[in-house]
Structures are given as structure tokens and as C-alpha cells.
Amino acid sequence: MKLSSAAADDLSMFLLDDDELVTSLDIDAFKTAAPHEQSYVGTLPRSESTSEAVRARHTALAAVIRSVEQTCNAFDSVDTSAVAAQVSLRRRMGSLAMAASALESVASFVESPDHEALFAGEGLLAPYLAGVYLWINDVAETMGALAHDLNALAPDWAAFRERLDEVRWIFDMALAEAKRLENVIDLLPVEMHEPMDALRIAAVALKHKLDEPFG
């Protein structure tokens, strides 16, 4: 989903009832790596390229989110309070899916030789994307644990909130990096400006959604 930068001042548009929204993080935006030539050189250990590292990190995140979605799809309860909590969790999963989709739109630029250096260890985007990936992954795992508990009709709300509080600093760090990048936005290719803005907006929208009361 492409998010317009004009929506930056209206976060409420992202706080939707996305009960049926799922991610499409099957790394479709990433090219399939060409097979390595079979020779004695191919048998030697080789360093992982920047694009391979980003692709692997994105694939891992996709697997976590897909697992949570499958758990949510197994919801089957007649308990009124449990149903309300399950609906609330699915809405948060919708916001998570939107943030992950925005992240994919930025990360897929690594496949371009003209952009790959931005994602390398010393690249301009490396600290920011590391923080976003880490935070979204932790949020997804935390929601996965809650989904499992809701299926068992035994949600541990204190543990859920405690875990989100524990990773709040990662979000704060990523947001600080986003603001730093805004000050040097001219150093980024112009085609990345809108995806970067959309990612920041989607991440903030997810944080707002997580802070809302359940039910």
C-alpha cells in the first residue's frame, strides 16, 4: 500500500479496522538471486552481500508476521470479552501489516546497485532500518504471544504491556534516526523520499494503535 506524504498530518487515517488485512511480505519486491557458478571457488566461504542480508532480514520478519496471522485466523470464541480483545488484536495486526508493507517499499531499493550502499553497515539508512526492523519484529512476536494466549482464553495483559514497554526505546531510537534523516533528505535519491516518509508515518501510526486500550 502506497501512503501519500500528504497524510503525515492525519495519523487517524491509518488507525483503521483492518481485520482482514494481511501482509504480502513474500519478498516479491526482491529479485531472485542468480545461482552461483559451480566451481572450486563456489565451495569457498563467502561474505553475505548487503542485498542478501537485507533480504534475509525481511524474510525473517515476514515469517514472524505470517505466523501471528495464522494464529489470529484460528480465533474461535463465543466469550464476548475474548471476542472484543481478538478483534482489537486483529486491528493492531492491520496497522502492523501497513508498517511492514511500508518497510518493504524502502528495503526493496537495496536491489538497485545505485542504492545498495545506503543499506550497508556504514550506509546512511543502516541505523534507521535496523531500529525499525528490530522494533516491528519485537512487536510482532509480542502480539503473537498475546494471540496464542487469547486462543487459550488466558491473556496475560500485564506481560503484553510490559513487553511493549521494554521495546519502546527501540521505537524512540528509530524515530530519532528518522528525524535525523529528514535533515539530510537531499542526500537520498529523490525516488526514495516518499517511501521513507510513508514508513515513518506508518511506524508512528502503529505506535499510536498499540497505545490504545484493548476492547
Tell me if 99 sits within 8 A of 203, measured CB to CB. yes
Q: What is the pLDDT of residues 102-152, one digit of tens each?
A: 999 999 999 999 999 999 999 999 999 999 999 999 999 999 999 999 988
Q: What is the pLDDT of residues 87-99, one digit of tens each?
A: 899 999 999 999 9
CATH assignment at residue 85: 1.20.1410
Q: Residue 194 belongs to what domain range?
A: 51-211
Instruction: Confirm whether 117 is domain-assigned.
Output: yes
Tell me if 107 sits within 8 A of 199, measured CB to CB. no
Instruction: Confirm whether 44 is domain-assigned.
Output: no
Report how many helices (DSSP H) and strands (DSSP E) the chain contains, helices first: 6, 0
> How much is the pLDDT for 178?
96
Three-state secondary structure string covering 36-47: CCCCCHHHCCCC
Instruction: Confirm whether 116 is domain-assigned.
Output: yes
Mean pLDDT (the chain, rounded): 82
Model pTM? Answer: 0.78
Tell me if 203 sits within 8 A of 174, measured CB to CB. yes
Can you tell me which residue has the cell 476492547?
A: 215
The Cβ-side half-sphere exposure at 113, using a 13 Å CA radius, reads 0
The Cβ-side half-sphere exposure at 172, using a 13 Å CA radius, reads 6
How many Å apart are CA 95 and CA 202, to the nearest integer?
8
How many Å apart are CA 199 and CA 3, to the nearest integer?
8
Number of domains comprising the chain: 1
Q: Which of 57, 64, 1 has its CA nearest to residue 30?
A: 57
Tell me if 105 sits within 8 A of 199, measured CB to CB. yes
Instruction: Confirm whether 201 is domain-assigned.
Output: yes
Instruction: Confirm whether 157 is domain-assigned.
Output: yes
Instruction: Confirm whether 15 is domain-assigned.
Output: no
Instruction: Confirm whether 12 is domain-assigned.
Output: no
Secondary structure class of 31 (helix, strand, coil): coil
Secondary structure class of 21 (helix, strand, coil): coil
> Could you give the percent of the chain with pLDDT greater than 70?
77
Instruction: Confirm whether 58 is domain-assigned.
Output: yes
